[in-house]
């Protein structure tokens, strides 16, 4: 994979995620463009490359999703939950990519939902563990694991629906990433256009 291309696309996707947060919001539900990119990379990149890309995208997510610990005056960026969640999500994607037609935006949407479920479960579990009494970390203010799971499920549904056009765009730009031929063995449609 060409890392400079990944960096540019990740920055553009982060800009889209942050810049369209209010425009695409349905109540409190906003889509995750970085999750779409993580699944796309997981579909085509070698496993180790996909894992590093997932950690980078998780770090970007952690840095742009501040939380407020209890008894703390301001929001802080907690590095780790999304990194771990995205790492689990890309692992799920790598395991499932042999069973889907990787050139189908619909398949990308289904994988975004499935991998996103695992990623969000890990994120919620890590943030919930901060509130356990035997840990020294401060719990997140106003945190409810049940509310978070419902909210994140709705975010995943919205993101999966948005994956159809975004996945189509990424699949058309796939040649720019320089994925090695035969990477991620599995069914694939032949490319007729680049």
Architecture of 3-177 per CATH? Orthogonal Bundle (1.10)
| CA angle centred on 34, ends 30 and 35, rounded to 5° | 80
Percent of the chain with pLDDT over 70: 87
Q: What is the pTM of this model?
A: 0.86
pLDDT tens figures, 31-90: 999 999 999 999 999 999 999 999 999 999 999 987 766 666 667 778 889 999 999 999
CA-CA distances (angstroms) from residue 74 to 43, 69, 127, 135? 38, 8, 17, 21
Distance between first and last Cα of the chain: 17
> What kind and span of H or E run contains 5?
helix 3-19
pLDDT band at 188 (very low <50, low <70, confident <90, very high): very low
Query: What mean pLDDT do residues 134-162 have?
Result: 86
Which has more confidence, 21 or 56? 56
* Largest interatomic CA distance in the chain: 58
Confidence band of 186 (pLDDT split at 50, 70, 90):
very low
Q: What's the pLDDT at 139?
A: 74
Separation in Å, CA 119 to CA 40, 72, 85, 122, 178: 15, 27, 4, 5, 26
Going from N- to C-terminal start, the domains of the chain cover: 3-177
């Amino acid at each position: 994979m060409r890392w400079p291309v990944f960096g540019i696309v990740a920055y553009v996707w982060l800009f889209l995620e942050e810049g369209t947060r209010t425009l695409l919001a349905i109540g409190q539900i906003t889509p995750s463009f970085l999750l779409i990119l993580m699944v796309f990379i997981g579909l085509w990149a070698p496993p180790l490359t996909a894992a590093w890309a997932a950690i980078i995208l998780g770090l970007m997510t952690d840095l742009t999703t501040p939380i407020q610990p209890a008894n703390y005056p301001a929001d802080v960026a907690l590095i780790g939950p999304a990194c771990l969640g995205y790492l689990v999500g890309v692992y799920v994607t790598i395991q499932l990519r042999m069973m889907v037609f990787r050139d189908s935006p619909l398949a990308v949407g289904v994988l975004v939902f499935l991998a996103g479920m695992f990623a969000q479960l890990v994120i919620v579990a890590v943030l919930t563990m901060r509130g356990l009494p035997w840990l020294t970390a401060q719990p997140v203010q106003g945190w409810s694991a049940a509310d978070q799971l419902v909210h994140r499920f709705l975010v995943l549904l919205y993101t999966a629906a948005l994956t159809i056009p975004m996945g189509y765009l990424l699949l058309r730009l796939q040649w720019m990433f320089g994925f090695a031929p035969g990477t991620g063995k599995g069914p694939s449609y032949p490319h007729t256009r680049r």
